[in-house]
Amino acid sequence: MGSGKVFLARNKALLTDTKKGKRPSPQEILKLRLALHQPAMNDVHQHLLDISTPDHPSYGRHLEKHELDDLLRPASDTVTAVTHWLACEGILETNITYQGSWITFNASVSQAESLLGTKFHEYHNGETTLIRTLQYSVPTRLWPLIATIQPTTRFGLPRAQASFMLETRDNPDPGLVSPFGDPDLLTTYNATFCNSTITPECIRGIYRMTDFQADPKAKTKLGVSGFIEEGVYFDDLEDFLKLTGASNQAHDFSIVPINNGVSDQKGVNKTAEGNLDVQYSVALARGTPVVYYSTAGRAPMLADLDQPTPSLNGSNEPYLDQLHFLLGLNSSDLPDVLTTSYAEDEQTVPFDWAREVCLAFSFLGLRGVSVIFASGDTGVGSACQSNDGKKTPRFTPNFPATCPYVTAVGGTYAVNPEIAAAFSSGGFSNYFAAPSYQVNITKAYLSRLGNQNKGYFNASGRGYPDVSAQSVRYLIENQDRAEFLYGTSCAAPTFAAIISNLNNKRLAQGKGKLGFLNPWLYSQGYQAFNDITLGRSRGCSGQDMYTGQPAPKIADAGWDAAPGWDPVTGWGTPDFQKLSNMMAS
């Protein structure tokens, strides 16, 4: 590193199975995002807590786009200093764009190496090739101004959280003839049947939402995230609604591609995750417009958010692409709820990047969006070792579920009683401290826990999940076949639809939308949830469930479902009738 520079980020070790390759062409173009430090973040976060806490005078006073823009606008001398640095390295103004505290620019590999005092290499993982570095630096005078520059040291491996298919059944007349023999089982609530198969009517019955129909005068909108080339078929949606007896209900579904995201209605290989999320969102949020935000950013086969594109090798970042798109919308175009069913090991994400993405989720909360994430499907962990080169046995929490500004949804199964799913991811973040709305709750849980699992987790970290929902054997229609999926990807859109329905009722009553849920959830909302006290999460079995590689085996690894909040089901599952009554009062 040359004089006058300071390291901004270093990676001590690569992901398992990631191999360093050759140097890229100096002319290869990279798309880099630079986040500026925002000194007033404590004030911003306090404002978010104020407008999200029911007893506060500012509760529900969410910000318009221009108000948030004004709040986050960086100082002009900060922007000038950073753009002058870029210009001195030959980065043309035409290759720079600005949004809030983020500066995005295109640079050749040779320019980026000079700019960041580093050397880039190709890194290979399976069929994926990324251009990355293990460290980079910035001028000392700019170090206080810059929070992160990515993708540089980011090697994450996010995965859809409903990647587990239990069974498929051919449907000779898709959507019209039940593959179960008795079509009434799919169109009514039958507790015995719902113990083995989940349909929209099962969810309505289990969570007491049978009579809900959205009021069209209440302008609510439910957003569904689509990443890693995951498509959605309109025909599958229509067939699913016919199959489950919901085709006569009003529904409004559209696809919004972001950066040329997938919207094709044929030739898309991967549709199970997208179809699951959309089919249950549409069926459960009756009458509410559902929008699938399909964000480009990877090639097929490996779920890596920074997958290369033909023109900008390895420099797409779908989370940020989606967040910047949504934050650029006026309030009338924003979804009130956004559900996302993707996760990755928290430790595979550079902390500086995770922090900035988490902040962006908080900005959606300031705009009044309830941000919902699946907690993950690896229980307490799968790889179960630190990636700092020491390979210390550890539980491995999932990001973005560990971000304190999202609501993480774990998984349950069975009816009367519901039971915690063994795969339901949960635990405690190694990056984010327990937030003020939660800290007393997690302390109380850990005091009851005693020495169980001691040394394998961060006792002062943000605990997750926050809530849970059914997550086993969901029936979907996928490419003209009935399929059955499990995972917290099933739980997330289910919970999101319930929150969307509550928003619809509130707006119809002249009240505001819920926005960031957690302060309300931990102070009052939990009283309207079904406490799950049976079951236990698992994990750290000695084999990585995704790669099949050997991993540390931790004896008796897991969390027990317990009275109150626990790190496998959170506060439990929603009771729509109780929640509606709570909202009315």
What distances in angstroms separate CA 168 from CA 201, 265, 484, one per listed residue?
20, 21, 6
Q: Is 532 annotated as a binding residue?
A: yes
In angstroms, the CA 422 to CA 378 distance is 9
Count Cβ atoms below 10 Å from residue 93 Cβ, excluding itself.
9
Phi, psi of 47 (to 5 degrees): -65, -40
Among candidate residues 277, 317, 352, 544, the one labeled active-site is 277
Q: Is 226 annotated as a binding residue?
A: no
Q: Say how many Å lie between the first and final Cα of the chain, rounded.
A: 62
Q: Is 235 annotated as a binding residue?
A: no
What are 69's two structure tokens? 């823009």
In angstroms, the CA 567 to CA 555 distance is 18
Please confirm, yes or no, whether 273 is among the known catalytic residues.
Answer: yes
Say if residues 223 and 335 touch (Cβ distance below 8 Å): yes
Max intra-chain CA distance, the chain: 75
Say if residues 459 and 451 touch (Cβ distance below 8 Å): no
Coil, strand or helix at 527: helix
E strand intervals along 271-317: 290-295
In angstroms, the CA 146 to CA 214 distance is 45
Q: Is 205 annotated as a binding residue?
A: no
Closest CA to 1 of 155, 114, 145: 114
Q: How many distinct helices (H) and strands (E) make up the chain?
A: 15, 29
E strand intervals along 40-157: 96-99, 102-108, 121-125, 128-132, 135-139, 146-150
Sheet holding 96-99, edge to edge: 96-99, 102-108, 29-36, 146-150
Phi, psi of 142 (to 5 degrees): -95, -10
Among candidate residues 489, 500, 537, 580, the one labeled active-site is 489
Among candidate residues 113, 122, 201, 273, the one labeled active-site is 273
Please confirm, yes or no, whether 277 is among the known catalytic residues.
Answer: yes
Residue type, 288: T
Q: Known catalytic residues?
A: 273, 277, 489
Q: Which residues contribute to the annotated binding site?
A: 531-532, 564, 566
Residues annotated in the binding site for Ca(2+), as ranges?
A: 531-532, 564, 566
